[in-house]
Structure formats: structure tokens, C-alpha cells
Structure 1
Amino acid sequence: MEDSAAAAAVAVVTVPFPTQGHLNQLLHLSMLLASRGLAVHYAAPEPHLREARARVHGWDAAGALRLVAVRFRALDIPGGYASPPPDPSSPFPGHMMPLLEAFCDGARTPLAALLRELSACHRRVVVLHDRMAAFAAVEAARIPNGEALGVHCLAASYNVGWVYPAHRLLVEHGLVFHPPDACTTKEFVALAKRMGQERRRAAVAGMVVNTCRALEGEFLDVLAPIPSMSHGKPVLAWPMHSDQPWDAELVCKYLGAGVLVRPWEERHDVTPAAAIREAIERAMASGDGAALRARAAAIGEAVRAAVAEGGSLRQDMDDLVAYLTR
């Protein structure tokens, strides 16, 4: 009863960045927290609420009940921005920049109103915000019973490359970290830097990282892409933009559980069908592929064990809930 009362006294507001890979991760986290009895409010523009609900997958029958337990709150942002057509010469979705900038500029006011509403009827309001939606941390600091935790949706090891591209872990494993300005656009880098300045303005209680020791243990020791790896199948990596080049390095070189179809350095070239066929055959029918599949299966088993009862990830979630409801 005491645990239930503590959970009910806390409101959790999750604020995702409005792109699919970010929306999905924050929704899964919201569902997990709601299943522990927490009042979870998932806040995003209405079109992205619909997108997140429509695309959520990977849950059993009980997952539908968890989704119902999450309260979806629309953040109305000003319209009037014009999105250009996609640039066929660039794999990065730069045409979304007007929307992303409108979100970071316009979602602040409706979010502040939501936080004030929840602050009046809860002992504590915790904002779990995507690090690319760091304005939410500033708004959390404005209410007397609010606090913010940033959610890092990229690989934990990405932070190592960001801070120190020549770190010994990268060098020892032959990993190459491509800087953000090589994998995105200058406009997106500018937005990321602006959100970084927002984070430094606010008092943030900490950071939640989506990973586990079975995947990135060495990197987590330095710092204190689970879904695909948990199936125990080898990955065919084809990096296109953003953090994908690093994910390919991590899966293929560090974890040894994938085949690189097209190196990042060849992103401007047309990949011939023969190269794609060769990568598939290597993963499925070669001697190297047998070792690859065995490694992927072992990693999948380790990840599933981490989320099972008594596993390290289950304990991490218990610790997070205990912290939120303290």
C-alpha cells in the first residue's frame, strides 16, 4: 500500500523528440513506468501522439493495458511553418527541420501549462525528456516540486566518441567515430547545440540511458540498440545518417554480431546488388556466418536475461522507480 501511495503521489511527464526512433523509445519507457503504478503523461504534438500509438509494437496481450494506462497529452505548437520537399541527394531527413524547430520553440508554453496543472495535485512532478527536448528541463525547474531527467536515446557508447573520439576503447577495437556534422546537417547540429545550452541552463537530476551491460558494459564503466539485439539475430548494417554510422561500428566491430553492407565512407555511391547478396550470404550461409549467428544468439540471450526477473535491467528499472517515488 505504501508503494502504491508513493507512486500515486508522483506524476511522470515524458517529453519525446518528435521523430519515430525517439517517440517509440519514450513510449516504451512510459508503458513500463505505468505498469508499475505511476501516473505517466506522454506529451507531444497531436500528430505525433497518433504516430506513436499506431506504431508501438513488441508487447504481449498485457501491453494493450499498459498503453491504456499512459495518459496522452497534446502539446499544441504554432503552425505556419513550411516544410520543403525531401532532398533526394541527402539521406538525412532535413525537410523535417522546420517541424523540429517549431516543436522546440513552440512546445514550451503548453508544456509549462501541463506541468503547472500536475504540480497542483501531486507531491512531485518528474519530467523525463529526450535530450533533444531539453527545453522541458527548464520548464520543470520553474515549478516548486518539479525535477527533470534527460533520456539518452542513442547508444551509451556514442557519448564516449562524442567526448573523446580517441578514447582507448575506440582505438583498441578499431572503432571510428564520425562527428555529427558528417552524419546530419548543419541546421540539425545547430539545434542540438541549442538544446545542449538549454540543458546547461537547467538543474537536471540525472540521465536515463537505454542500454544494458550485455551490450555496452565497458562503455558504461566509462560513462557510469537493445530491441534488435534482443532477438538474437545478426544485423545487416547499412548506415545512412545521424547515429547510424556509430551503431554500425558498435554492432559489427565491437559486438561482432553484424555484417556491414555498405561502409559509411561509400554513402554517396550506389551499392550494387552483388554486394548486398554477398553480405546476406555471408550472414546466412558462410562459415563466418555461423560464428556471427552464434555471437548474435549469445547476445540475444544475455539481453533477454537482463530484462527477466532478477536481471540487471530489471533491477535498473526498479531503482529508477524507487528514485522517482522516494
Structure 2
Amino acid sequence: MASGDTDNQTKVVVVMVPFIAHGHLNQLLHLSNLVSSYNIPVHFICTTSTLHQARSRLQGLATSDPMIHFHQFETPPFTSPPPDPTNHFPSHLQSSFESTLHLRRPVFDFICSVSKTATRVVVIHDALMSYVVQDVKSISNAECYNFRPLSVFYTFWDLWEKAGRPFEVDMELFNKLPSQNGIVSAEFRLFAKLQHPHMNNDVGDLFDSSRVIEGEFLEYLEREEISGKKKIWAVGPVNPVHTSDVTVLDKNRHKCLQWLDKQPVNSVIYVSFGTTTTFTDDQIRELAIGLERSEQRFIWVVRAADRGDMVGLKDRLVTLPDGFEERVKGKGLIERGWAPQLEILDHSATGGFMSHCGWNSSMESISMGVPMATWPMHSDQPRNAVLITEVLKIGVVVKDWERRNELVTALAVEKAVITLLGSRQGYEMRKRAAKFGDDIKLSMIEGGASRLEMDSFISYIRR
């Protein structure tokens, strides 16, 4: 391992600068593992509270690798209101997002110190931390790479429209894309706008994606009319594709996995809406009734969204309909805490995933060969749902974005679950999803498409 390397003046050192939202943080932690496997030391910058959260959630990934060094920085105090179930976008996190702007100086000072003992410092930053790393361009032996945490599909269409539609594409598909209206709050749009000018400092872009699933859109994105001469690498999936690779801190298997062990193959739908979603009581009731009436097996992660100060998990106990848990006992499992999502998706009993379509969850599902029931909430999620249902054809719609302000009925939930788990259509989706999962696993081994992309990136930063 490189930790034993005494030639401190010839090292390439990587500094990861993640955004604090869990889905973003998760991706760069996984990428840290991939980079460190090439015998390159990684310095991972994080706020104190988010690092504590990551250590508790990520099943020991990265946090036990001696090649990965964690550095905690404090941010000024900020307000941390509870999540608003009536708001699709997690506006309650806005103050915590803005607190990251204060990291500009300490991050720069840290990278300066690292640059004194390395030939080259490679700064990989989340797109939403571009403002924070803007001063790195003044360090002669440091260079920045923009990690884009969203799908290539979403990114291409967004940039293509902003570039004035510079070349012809499949207009039939374009016309199926939901509008961008309402995907983020006005405050977040301003926060994102702060980042844009500083992305010009980057050598290239990294994506948590694979040419196996988004090859056509990567080729579009690589055209000079869209990306100029900027380099692009699709190094994903960054998450492990075999959960046996995951070091589990707890010697006992999680109760969700023990329960899955007792279920038939492809018989369970996993229901989880990420870390930023909180439903109204009415929506919780409709979802519960729909799951019950489907008469299919399920694991449902029932929890309020994260709060900005990372302590929100127990602040609002989600109330389920009277008698629901007793009625579904044996057929359904309610998980109110943190669930090991990767391992659940990789389990042979899991036959579907009802999801908000965040790109982190989507890539995990695709790489594990699991079809999806799509229920987008905000940001890139509505267009990710189109990729899953219309392009890859491995998903069924639970909620259409254009009807985002309507309650999803129990009937809609029931229909989606039965389609995914109990119909010929669902069987065909599962076959296609399994093929994508197999292809992705092959892409990660020596000579595979994603492995070649990662090799190319590592070769470039070692040039």
C-alpha cells in the first residue's frame, strides 16, 4: 500500500470535497475507495456532523481504509427546521447547504498544505462545492475535477437546452421529458448559480455512470458543442457491485437481511425514498393501504427526512394507519431506522424497488439488477424516472411529475407493486434489469468499459 511509500515528493494525492447531502457524500466516499485501490492516498474533507453520520451509515466502507484520511471542518451555526411534508424540495436543508460556503478558506488552506508534499494534488469536488474550491487554481501543482452527482441523461439534456439545442437529437424522447418547473426552490437555484462560474476551472468531469447504460448520452455530452474540450470520464457505478465486498462493522446481519433470507426469490418490493423526503400523513396512509392491498411482500423504510443538523431521524415518528403493522405482519417489514440499501437490493429475494429516483439510489438499483417503481420528488429525479421507464425500460410509474401536487392513491401504489412483482410486464422488466446488472458487473472488471474509464482517469492524473 502507498502508506508505506517514503518518497513523499513523488506522490499524486487526491483530495475529495463532497457536498454534505447524504446521497452526494455517499458517492464520493465510494469513489474514494476506488481511487485508493490504485495505491493513491485520499484526503476526504467533511463537516464534523456529516462525517459522523457517514460513519454510522456506510457499513464501514472507506472509513476503515488506511489509505483514506478524514479531515473534519466546523461550519458556523445555522438554523435547522424540521422537514415540511408539503414541500417536495427539501428547503429545510437550505441553511445547512449555505453553511458550506464558509469552507472556502479552510479548504484552500488545507489543499495548500497538502501541495507542499506532493507532486500533484488532484481535487475532486462535488459540483455543488465549486464555489468552495475556486481558489485552488492559484496553486501551481493542484488541479480540479468536477464530480457531477447526477445522471448523464439529466446533465446532457440540461446542458443541451442551455446551449440552444446545438444539434439534432431524438425529439420524440425529448418531448417525453418533464418540464424543469418546480424541481428546486428559488433559494437553491441561487445557491447553484453561485457554483456555475467556478466550474470553468476544472480539467474535466467525472460521472457516477457507465457507458453500459448511458453510452448514447455520454457521446452526446462529449461533443464540443456541449462540453468544449473538457475531459469526461464515466467511472461508475462507484458503489460496490458485490455486497460481499462490503466490510460490515456489525457482526450480526441486519434484521432486514435476516427477514429477506426467509422470503422467496424476487418476491419482495423494497420501498425507500431517500434521506430528503417526508410524506404527509395522508400520503403515508395511501401508501400503506396500497402496499397492504397489493398482497405482495415488502420492506418499507418509514422515516422522516434528515435535518440540517443531522439529528432529525427521531424528531418525527411517522404514524402508520391503526392496525396496519399487525395486519401485514409476516408479509411486510417496517424499518424505522437506517437500512443497508445496497445489501437489500443485492438480495435474491428483492424483486423491485419503489424509489424517489435519486441518482445514487438509481445507480445502486441498476447495478444490482433490480427494476424500479418510480416516484420522483425534485431536482434530477423526474428526468431520471424517464430514463428508467422510457429508455432503459426497467421501471413502472407510480407518480408522474406533471401530477406532482396530487396525492398518490392507494390504488396507484397497489397497481404499480402488482405490475412490478406479479405480472408478465414486471417479469420482462426484471429480465432487462438483471441483464443491465450483469453487464455493469462485467464493466467493472479488468478490460470492462467502466474499469477502462477509471484506468484512464488514474493514468491521466499520474501523467
Report the TM-score, using the length of structure 2 for normalisation: 0.64
For 1:8 and 1:321, the matched residues in 2 are separated by: 15
Q: Are 1:116 and 2:112 matched, yes or no? A: yes
Aligned to 2:187: 187
Structure 1 residues 243 and 57, CA gap change in structure 2 (3 angstroms): farther
- 2:86 pairs with one of 82, 85, 89: 89
- Aligned residues: percent identity? 33
Gap change, CA 1:313 and 1:107, over 3 Å in 2: same
Gapped runs of 5+ residues in structure 2?
223-361
Change (3 A) 1:8 1:182: farther
Distance 1:276 1:170, change over 3 A: farther
Helix, strand or coil: the match of 1:135?
coil
**Take 1:7 and 1:261, find their aligned partners in 2: how far apart are those partners?**
55
Name the aligned partner's letter for residue 416 of structure 2. Answer: A
d(CA) in 1 for partners of 2:204 and 2:197?
Answer: 16
CA contact (8 A) 2:48 2:74 kept: yes
Q: Deviations over 1:78-134 (max 9, x none)?
A: 22x223332221021101111111112x01111011111101111111110001100
| Amino acid corresponding to residue 152 of structure 2 in structure 1 | A
Cα–Cα, structure 1 residues 93 and 8, in superposed 2: closer, same or farther, change >3 Å? farther
Letter in 2 for 1:298: K
Out of 419, 428, 435, the position equivalent to 1:282 is 419
CA gap 1:266/1:188 in 2 versus in 1, 3 angstroms: same
| Whole-angstrom CA distance in 1 between matches of 2:46 and 2:128 | 13
Which of the residues 31, 34, 45 maps onto 1:32?
Answer: 34
Do 2:210 and 2:440's aligned partners in 1 also have CA atoms closer than 8 Å?
yes
Q: Of the candidates 144, 150, 153, which is equivalent to residue 154 of structure 1?
A: 150
2:406 corresponds in structure 1 to 269
Structure 2: distance between partners of 1:89 and 1:83: 17
* Pairing of 1:169-318 with structure 2 (within 5 A): 169=170, 171-172=172-173, 175-179=176-180, 181-200=181-200, 203-224=201-222, 225-318=362-455
2:247 aligned partner: none
TM-aligned CA distance change 1:107 to 1:64, over 3 Å? closer
Distance of 1:174 and 1:291 partners within structure 2? 25
Give the whole-Å Cα distance in 2 for the aligned partners of 1:30 and 1:290. Answer: 36
Query: Which protein is richer in helix relative to its size?
Result: 1
Per-residue deviation, residues 9-60 of structure 1 (Å, max 9, x unmatched): 111111011101100001100111112111101101111112222222496x
For residues 8 and 29 of structure 1, the distance between their equivalents in structure 2, rounded to whole angstroms, comes to: 22
1:55 is aligned, of 54, 57, 75, to 57
Unaligned runs of 5+ in 1: none
> Is the 2:9–2:117 contact (alpha carbons within 8 Å) kept by the matching residues of 1?
no
User: What is the DSSP-based 3-state SS (H/G/I as helix, E as strand, rest coil) of the residue aligned with 2:383?
Assistant: helix
Taking the aligned partners of 1:157 and 1:290, their CA distance within structure 2 comes to 25
SS at the partner of 1:101?
A: helix
Q: Residues of 1 paired with 2:389 and 2:57: CA distance?
A: 27
Larger Rg: 2
CA gap 1:82/1:195 in 2 versus in 1, 3 angstroms: same
3-state SS in 1 of match to 2:122 = strand
Per-residue Cα deviation, 1:226-274 (whole angstroms, up to 9, x for no partner): 3210111111111011111111111011100011111112221111112
- Give 3-state SS (helix, strand or coil) of 1:219's partner: helix
One-letter amino acid matched to 1:88: P
**1:161–1:177 contact (8 Å) kept in structure 2:** no
What is the aligned length? 316
Residue type at the aligned position of 2:128 = M
Q: Secondary structure at the match of 1:206?
A: strand
Q: What is the CA distance between 1:325 and its match in structure 2?
A: 1.5
Change (3 A) 1:58 1:312: farther
The verdict on how the C-alpha distance between 1:58 and 1:42 changes in structure 2, with shifts beyond 3 A counting, is closer
- Contact kept, 8 Å, 1:161 with 1:170, in 2: the verdict is no
One-letter amino acid of the structure 2 residue matched with residue 258 of structure 1 = G
Alpha-carbon contact 1:226-1:303 (below 8 Å) kept: no
